[in-house]
Amino acid sequence: MVKASVETKELPHVEDGVYDAIFQDVEEVDTKFGRKWKWIFRIPKADGFVDVSGLTSPTFSRKGKAYKWVCAIAKKNYKEGEEIDTDKLRGRHVLVETATVPYGDTVISNVVNVMRPPTQTQKGKKGGKA
């Protein structure tokens, strides 16, 4: 006879918002909507870190999310025909925007946008006209 109890697993997540993060990897995954790319980012926290991810289509059209994300990670825009090697982008710092979504009895954090981090000059820049 097997005896078991149901456990609720608390998945690591962060509150909705924009966070400094480090690009970890991108991998192909099969979903119920077809093949996707899963982009994985690490958000440093006071007590360690939390890994978050987001899905994109597996194409690099200029209007697609994958192209925008890789350009943010690389801090450059790619020209038509230029090779993109995501392995060389691991460890790069970016900003990620997350949104929590229900997942069974808990919630997970999905990456919904990836942005270039501000440069030193942008950090000190004030908006508006003089």
How does residue 3 score in pLDDT terms, banded at 50, 70 and 90? low
Specify if 102 maps to a domain. yes
pTM over 0.95: no
Whether 126 is in a domain gets the answer no
Instruction: Tell me, yes or no, whether 1 lies in a domain.
Output: no
In a domain, 28, yes or no: yes
C-alpha 84/C-alpha 71 separation (Å) is 10
Higher pLDDT, 4 or 47: 47
Overall number of domains in the chain: 1
Residue 78: give its domain's CATH number.
Answer: 2.40.50
C-alpha 23/C-alpha 51 separation (Å) is 10
Say if 66 falls within a structural domain: yes
Q: In this structure, is residue 48 part of a structural domain?
A: yes
pLDDT tens digits for range 14-62: 899 999 999 999 999 999 999 999 999 999 988 899 999 999 999 888 8
Torsion of CA 64, 19, 26, 89, to 10 degrees: 90
11, part of any domain: no
Distance set, CA 45 to CA 40, 49, 93, 104 (Å): 16, 5, 15, 25
CB 97 within 8 A of CB 18: yes
Q: Which domain holds residue 108?
A: 17-120
Instruction: Tell how far CA 118 is from the center of its chain.
Output: 17
Is residue 50, in this structure, part of any structural domain at all? Answer: yes
